C-alpha cells in the first residue's frame, strides 16, 4: 500500500474512533441522568467559562461522571478528570474510555512505579487550557466518616498554579446509588453542590490549606437535599 | 375515546388556554423581562399543567397499556424521590434494588393483567415481609427498623397507592363498560382542582393557619373553599361517572378530603427530612410527588368505595 493510502486509512481510523468516543460520552451522560437524575446546585459559584479545579468527595467510581454530566456541554468539553492510571489502563476497553471518552489525566498512585510526577502532569493539563476534576482524598471513601484526610496533591498543585480557582463540589447520595462492590445501581437522586471558589493564600502552610479546603467542602453537605 | 372524555379534555384545554392568556398578560404588564418570581412561577406551573394534561390524554388514547405504563413511570419517579430522602445503609442495597426492579414492575404487571387478588396484597404481604429479609441477610442492625419502615412507606405511597389509579380500569360496572378511563379522569380532575382551588382561596382569603408547624401556606379558609369548589365541580361532572349527582358530590368530598390529608402528611415528611420539595423535575411544581401527593391518598379509597358499591366483581 502507498504511504498516502495508509495516511488516509489512519486518519479514517482516528476520526471513527473520535466519533465512537463522542457517542459513548453522550450515552454515558444519558445513562447517568437516567440512573441518578443528578441535580446541580450552584451555591456560591456560577457555571461560567474559565479555568477551574473542581475538587470533590469520592465515594464511587461514578463521581467524576456525575460532575461531568451536570456541567454545561461547553465547560464539559474542556474539563478533564484526574484518575488513577493503574485502574484505567487495566483493560483496552477501560483505556479507551479513560483516554478517549473522558480525556482523563491519568496519574500513577504508586510512587515507585511512576515515570512522571502527578502534580507536574496536572499542572501541564492546566497549562493546556483544561479545567480539572480532582478527588483529594486519593481513594474511594467507604468509611463512616464523611471525608477522608486530603492527600497533599491539591496543595502542591495550588502552589504551582496559584491563579486557578479551586471549586469544592459535594456529591451526595451517590454512595447509596452504587456502594463499593455492588453491580446494580439503585436509581436515587444525586445532588451536586458547587461552592464558592478558593485559592491558596500567600505563605499559607500546607496543613492549614488542606484543612481549609476540606472544611469548605464539608460545609456544602447541608446545602443539598439529604 | 368516548365523547364524554373528549368534552372533559376540551373543557380542561379551554381552562388552560384562559390561564395561559392570563399568565402571559400578567407577564407583559408587570414584568416583561421575567423579573417577577411569582408570575414566572405561575407561568411555569401552567406550562407544566399543559404537559401533564397532554401526557394523560395520550395515555388515555393508548388505552389500558398506555395508562398502566404512564402510572408505572410516575411510580418510578415518585419512588426515586421518596427513597432519595429515606434512611438507608449499604446493607439495604439489594432491598432497594428489588424495590425498583422487582416490586414496582411486578405490581404494575399484576394491575395490567387484572389479577386483583394478588395486586391488592402483593406489596403489603410479600414485599413487606421479604424485603427486610434481604436487609437482614446483608447484616447491619443499626437503625434496622427505621430503615425497613421508611423503605416500606416509600413503596406503599409511591407504588401501591399510585397503582390504584390504573387499577380503576379493571372495575366491572353495569352500564359503564368501556368507559372506566372516565373514572380516572374524574378522580384526577376533582383532586387536582381541589389542590389548585385551595391555593387560590388561601391566597385570596387565607387567615387562620391549618397546621402552622407543617405547612405555613395551608389555611382553613383555603382548605374549606377548595373542598367546597372541588366538591361542587365533581358533582357537576357526575355525568362522566356511574354515580348519581348526589353520590358524585359525596365521592368528590371524600376524595378531596383524602387528597388534602395526603398533602398534609407528605408535608410532615418533607419537614422532617428538611426539604421544601420532593424533587426538581417539574418546573414550578417541584417533584413528581409534590403533584401526586393528593392523588396518592385519594386513589385507593376511591377505588375501594367504587368497587364495593358499584362493581359487580
Q: If chain B, 313 residues long, is cut into consecutive pieces of 10 residues, what is the mean pLDDT of each piece? A: 82 92 92 83 86 90 93 95 91 95 98 96 97 92 94 97 96 91 94 92 90 87 96 95 96 97 93 85 79 94 96 80
Q: Give the tens place of pLDDT for each residue, A96-116.
A: 888 888 999 999 888 788 888
Interchain pair A187, B100: CB under 8 A: yes
Of B96, B273, B279, the CB nearest to A189: B279
Q: Give the tens place of pLDDT for each residue, A151-194.
A: 999 999 999 999 999 999 999 888 788 887 888 889 999 989 99
Give yes or no for A184 touching B (CB within 8 A): yes
For chain B, list residues whose CB is within 8 angstroms of any CB belonging to chain A: 76, 80-81, 83-85, 88, 90, 93, 96-97, 100-101, 273-275, 279-281
Q: Please, what is the end-to-end C-alpha distance for chain B in angstroms?
A: 25
Distance between CA B311 and CA B64 in Å, rounded? 18
Interchain pair B93, A39: CB under 8 A: no
pLDDT (0 to 100) of residue B269: 93
Pairing of strands A191-194, A165-172: antiparallel
ipTM: 0.81
Interchain pair B93, A186: CB under 8 A: yes
pLDDT higher at B13 or A5: B13
Interchain pair B88, A176: CB under 8 A: yes
Q: What is the longest distance spanned by two Cα atoms in chain B?
A: 63
| pLDDT for A224 beyond 70 | no
Nearest CA among B181, B302, B169, B174 for reference residue B248: B302
pLDDT (0 to 100) of residue A225: 38
Interchain pair B96, A176: CB under 8 A: yes
Residue in the structure block whose three cell numbers are 451517590: A174
| Closest residue on chain A to B89 (Cα) | A176
pLDDT (0 to 100) of residue B189: 93
Q: What are the φ/ψ torsions at residue A184 (nearest 5 degrees)? A: -90, 125
Instruction: Tell me which of A185, A189, A190, A223 to substitute to probe the interface with B (most B C-beta atoms closer than 10 Å).
Output: A189
Q: Residue A57: which pLDDT band, with cuts at 50, 70 and 90?
A: very high
Average pLDDT taken over every residue of chain A: 88
Of A39, A186, A226, the CB nearest to B97: A186
Helix or strand run (H / E) with residue B303: helix B288-310
Q: What are the φ/ψ torsions at residue A78 (nearest 5 degrees)? A: -105, 10
Per-residue buried b or exposed e for A46-57, using 16+ beta carbons within 10 Å of the residue's own CB: eeeeebbbbbbb
Interchain pair B100, A189: CB under 8 A: no
Percent of chain A with pLDDT over 90: 42
| Closest residue on chain B to A191 (Cα) | B84
Q: Residue A226: which pLDDT band, with cuts at 50, 70 and 90?
A: very low
pLDDT (0 to 100) of residue B273: 87
Amino acid at each position: 500500500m502507498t504511504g498516502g493510502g495508509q495516511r488516509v486509512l489512519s486518519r479514517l481510523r482516528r476520526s471513527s474512533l473520535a466519533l465512537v468516543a463522542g457517542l459513548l460520552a453522550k450515552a454515558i451522560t444519558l445513562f447517568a441522568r437516567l440512573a441518578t437524575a443528578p441535580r446541580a446546585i450552584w451555591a456560591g459559584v456560577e457555571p461560567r467559562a474559565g479555568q477551574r479545579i473542581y475538587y470533590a468527595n469520592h465515594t464511587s467510581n461514578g463521581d467524576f461522571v456525575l460532575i461531568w454530566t451536570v456541567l454545561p456541554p461547553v465547560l464539559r468539553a474542556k474539563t478533564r478528570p484526574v484518575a488513577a492510571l493503574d485502574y484505567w489502563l487495566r483493560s483496552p476497553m477501560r483505556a479507551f474510555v479513560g483516554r478517549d471518552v473522558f480525556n482523563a489525566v491519568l496519574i500513577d498512585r504508586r510512587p515507585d512505579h511512576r515515570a512522571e510526577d502527578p502534580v507536574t502532569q496536572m499542572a501541564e493539563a492546566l497549562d493546556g487550557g483544561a479545567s480539572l476534576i480532582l478527588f483529594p482524598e486519593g481513594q474511594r471513601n467507604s468509611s463512616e466518616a464523611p471525608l477522608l484526610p486530603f492527600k497533599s496533591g491539591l496543595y502542591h498543585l495550588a502552589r504551582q498554579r496559584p491563579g486557578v480557582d479551586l471549586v469544592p463540589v459535594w456529591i451526595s447520595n451517590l454512595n447509596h446509588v452504587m456502594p463499593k462492590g455492588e453491580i446494580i445501581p439503585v436509581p436515587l437522586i444525586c445532588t451536586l453542590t458547587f461552592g464558592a471558589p478558593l485559592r491558596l493564600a500567600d505563605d499559607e502552610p500546607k496543613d492549614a490549606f488542606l484543612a481549609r479546603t476540606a472544611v469548605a467542602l464539608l460545609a456544602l453537605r447541608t446545602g443539598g437535599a439529604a | 375515546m368516548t365523547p364524554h372524555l373528549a368534552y372533559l379534555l376540551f373543557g380542561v384545554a379551554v381552562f388552560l388556554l384562559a390561564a395561559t392568556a392570563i399568565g402571559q398578560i400578567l407577564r407583559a404588564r408587570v414584568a416583561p423581562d421575567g423579573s417577577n418570581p411569582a408570575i414566572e412561577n405561575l407561568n411555569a406551573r401552567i406550562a407544566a399543567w399543559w404537559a401533564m394534561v397532554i401526557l394523560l390524554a395520550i395515555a388515555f388514547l393508548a388505552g389500558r397499556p398506555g395508562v398502566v405504563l404512564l402510572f408505572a413511570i410516575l411510580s418510578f419517579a415518585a419512588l426515586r424521590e421518596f427513597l432519595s430522602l429515606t434512611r438507608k445503609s449499604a446493607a439495604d442495597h439489594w432491598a432497594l434494588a428489588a424495590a425498583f426492579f422487582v416490586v414496582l414492575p411486578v405490581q404494575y404487571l399484576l394491575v395490567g393483567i387484572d389479577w386483583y387478588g394478588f395486586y391488592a396484597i402483593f406489596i403489603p404481604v410479600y414485599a413487606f415481609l421479604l424485603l427486610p429479609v434481604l436487609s437482614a441477610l446483608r447484616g447491619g442492625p443499626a437503625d434496622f427498623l427505621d430503615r425497613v419502615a421508611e423503605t416500606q412507606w416509600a413503596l406503599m405511597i409511591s407504588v401501591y397507592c399510585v397503582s390504584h389509579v390504573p387499577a380503576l380500569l379493571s372495575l366491572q360496572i353495569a352500564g359503564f363498560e368501556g368507559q372506566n378511563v372516565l373514572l380516572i379522569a374524574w378522580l384526577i380532575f376533582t383532586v387536582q382542582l381541589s389542590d389548585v382551588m385551595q391555593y387560590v382561596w388561601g391566597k385570596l382569603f387565607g387567615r387562620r393557619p391549618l397546621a402552622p408547624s407543617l405547612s405555613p401556606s395551608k389555611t382553613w379558609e383555603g382548605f374549606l373553599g377548595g373542598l367546597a369548589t372541588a366538591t361542587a365541580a365533581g358533582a357537576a361532572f357526575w355525568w362522566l361517572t356511574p354515580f348519581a349527582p348526589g353520590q358524585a358530590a359525596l365521592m368528590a368530598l371524600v376524595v378531596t378530603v383524602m387528597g388534602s390529608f395526603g398533602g398534609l402528611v407528605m408535608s410532615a415528611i418533607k419537614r422532617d427530612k428538611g426539604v421544601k420539595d420532593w424533587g426538581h423535575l417539574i418546573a414550578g411544581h417541584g417533584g413528581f410527588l409534590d403533584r401526586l401527593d393528593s392523588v396518592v391518598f385519594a386513589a385507593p379509597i376511591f377505588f375501594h368505595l367504587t368497587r364495593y358499591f358499584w362493581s359487580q366483581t
